[in-house]
Structure 1
Amino acid sequence: MDQIFAPWRIDWVERDDDDGDGGDDGCPFCALPKADDDRESRVVARTDHSFVLLNNYPYNPGHAMVIPYRHTGSWGDLTDAELLDHAKLKARTLDALDAALDPDAANAGENLGGGPSGGSIDDHLHTHVVPRWGGDTNFMPVIGDTKVIVEALDDTYDRLREAFAEQSGADVDGENDAVFVEFDSPTEYDDDRSD
């Protein structure tokens, strides 16, 4: 039997399903940005319409998700302003990951539709952004069916938060607050997609 020591996961194992980890029908992506402590929730950056959350079960160090605040599983439900905001925040996330972790490349994508797509949360859109390095897939996951994460999530959070804070238009309040990112120019889109 393979054993991996991961003491930070005890919070997930011992969680109470009714302790605020759920929002719309128990959605963590609705609840986490509403929590009092962004650092504890792993919300690293925010905009008016979206936020960046570190993945608790990363494929690689720095595995983040860009998530709209609106609870929906359909891109067509988002306004033009929400769509543009999400895209701009994804670009800023890639920049922050480059500055903080200096990866060789990145993967970005979605698991849409649940079950067959591999996504565990299918009713709240989110884009995975995963830094990649040459050789980050080696014998451990291929032969040993084990993935080694080489940095603690708290350390990754600090590095990524600092990188967001150094970007133009960034505003940081308290030490446990996410960085608020304001884009250089406002969107020219309406918030109405009814036409």
Structure 2
Amino acid sequence: MPTVADVSAPEPEHDTPAATVPGRLSGDNASADALALAVEAVEGWGACSPDYDALSNAEALTGQCHLARLRNLVETRSVWMAKTLAYRSRPELGQKGLAQPQGFLAPEALVQKMTGATKTDARKLVDVGRKLALTEAAEAEAAAAHGAAEAGEADEADEAAPRSTRTTCWAGANPPCASSRPSPRHNASP
């Protein structure tokens, strides 16, 4: 009989991509693929209570793991959205913001109305979103400071290196980007 530990244990690495292995979820919370894989896994268990009753013990345990993963992915995205709503509803924006033209004095009230959450839960969601925004801003500032420090060290090294060495090192350390769009760091999980 399978145990919760058996079902929750990480699966060994496969050469086959996770998307092609039934029941296998991979990806981090920021990945849209992770959400799609979680939905796909949950859909496979059935569409009504009798379908779930017919599952084997192993399938029931695995199914609960997939549901927990899906719930976590959705809750992460709820925080991201609450952060966005709070930012777009800042008090200094007034009627030009998002919440006030909709008839709400604060983003918490907007979230409460849209989600059906309690006032307390809506406030918690927006508070976590705001804390996430502060964390992201601090991380961006630290990364910029770190990048500036590395650039300063690189400039000193460049002055001492011959031109051909500088070009080779720069090209090796800075491969071309796949996209000119900035990284979606604002979508980090809480």
TM-score > 0.5, shorter chain as reference: no
Bigger Rg, structure 1 or 2: 2
Bigger RCO of structures 1 and 2 (CA < 8 A, at least 6 apart): 1
Give the TM-score of the pair, scaled to structure 2: 0.26
- Report which of the two has the higher share of helix: 2
